[in-house]
Amino acid sequence: MSNIGTRISELRKKKKLTQLELGNIIHVSDKTISSWESNRTEPSLNDIVVLSEAIDTTITYLLYGDIDKLDLETEIKIKIDEKEFNYLNDYMKNNATFLKTINQLDTYYNPKHRSFIEEDVISEWLRIGKRGGKLILNYKHWYDTYCDEYEVFIDDEKNMDRILKVLGLERLVVVDKERTTYLYREKYEVALDKVKSLGYFIEIEVKNYEASKDPYIEYDALLRLAQELHLDLNKIDKRGYPYHLIKKNK
């Protein structure tokens, strides 16, 4: 299976560009291109967006190569500061459709016999989420480019909590956040989160998929939208709120 350096090299040569010529196009040195192609270093996500345009490929192909599928709940989450949060909230008020503001309280559970945390990443979770007057039991399992997700409504949180304890699951952490959501361009759900003890985040999710587009193109469009909103792609968060709260509370 090829790596990102090999893919950059192959596509550069296909375009009949030298390392110096490609570097000039994307405003880096030929030594930087050489370092990427030999896998001594990796380009940042911002660099990958520019690279994909220069060598006529998708961002997702550069990142992952040929894959069978992507998560059809394609989304990204980015850490922002209060100034960015206020700017984006004002921007969405004027350019998107307001959906709702709601407080979300999510309790995460972990089985005693094994951990959902692998190599500093939560690869699975089981949570009970409060959404207004509703309670939702949600399970997710992440893979490289997609995730399995299942959820059901519950009507008795205390008994559900007892059942989970009997099954050997214990409370891991509670995430308390205020979320304001907008529908942007009739295609993307933009969520602005104020997370207690963690700060501010933006989450963008594809809600309406175009039948003519494959998942590669949808994911590329999502990343380019983030750039249009002046977001730093290198601040994409892949670990999630529970992980950060666990680390903070240690």
Domain 4-64 architecture? Orthogonal Bundle (1.10)
Please state whether the predicted TM-score (pTM) of the whole model is above 0.85: no
Class of the 75-249 domain?
mainly beta
What are the C-alpha distances in Å from 108 to residues 94, 127, 131, 176, 223? 35, 4, 15, 11, 28
pLDDT at 116 over 80: no
Cβ pair 139, 151 in contact under 8 A: yes
Could you tell me the residue ranges of all domains in the chain?
4-64, 75-249
The type of residue at 155 is D
pLDDT digits (tens, 9 = 90+) for 144-190: 656 788 999 999 988 998 999 899 998 889 999 999 999 999 999 99
Cβ pair 82, 193 in contact under 8 A: no
pLDDT digits (tens, 9 = 90+) for 34-76: 999 999 999 998 999 999 999 999 888 888 787 655 544 578 9
